[in-house]
Amino acid sequence: MKRLFQMIGLSLLLFIISLTSCSNKPDPREEVKKLMTAVDQSDTTALKEYLDLEYIAGENLKGFSVKEKEELYPNIRQEILRDLTGDGSTRMSWKNSLVVIGKSKVKRDSAAVEVTYVSKITGIKNYTNMGLYFKDGKWKIYNLRVTGM
């Protein structure tokens, strides 16, 4: 009987450890909040930390020929950063909106975070998901407009 209680106790302990080890990742919504702050402050250094610019640049170059990609690639990362800082169109659009960070869906090392932009001028709502992956102990944003997860 004592052996049975030890086995049950050990099983329960292992179950609790497995539950807590799965939840060691920070909330991906926090990374999206940091991104929004970096965009608001035009903080290029922070944007480079939160975004996977290589992946985003590659996605922006889809559909171009190999030669065009070779010509465009050196500047595309800077164009992305310019769009998110200063008078960049994405930054200006976000600044003219109420940004609501909603729920997150996490699947292993991937996450999608719901983001709603409500225009301060027209009241029109725009819903999207931001895509993130977990690597080296932190979330990294690889897509600003994920269509599904």
Dump pLDDT digits (tens) for 50-73.
999 999 999 989 999 999 999 998
C-beta of residue 145 within 8 angstroms of C-beta of residue 132: no
Is the pLDDT at 121 greater than 60, yes or no?
A: yes
- The fold of the 25-146 domain, in CATH, is Nuclear Transport Factor 2; Chain: A, (3.10.450)
Beta strands in the chain (DSSP E): 97-107, 110-119, 125-135, 138-146
Backbone phi, then psi, for 137, in 5-degree steps? Answer: 80, 10
> Structure pTM?
0.78
Name the burial class of residue 47, with classes exposed (0-12), middle (13-18) and buried (19+) by CB atoms within 10 angstroms of its CB. buried
Is the pLDDT at 8 greater than 80, yes or no?
A: no
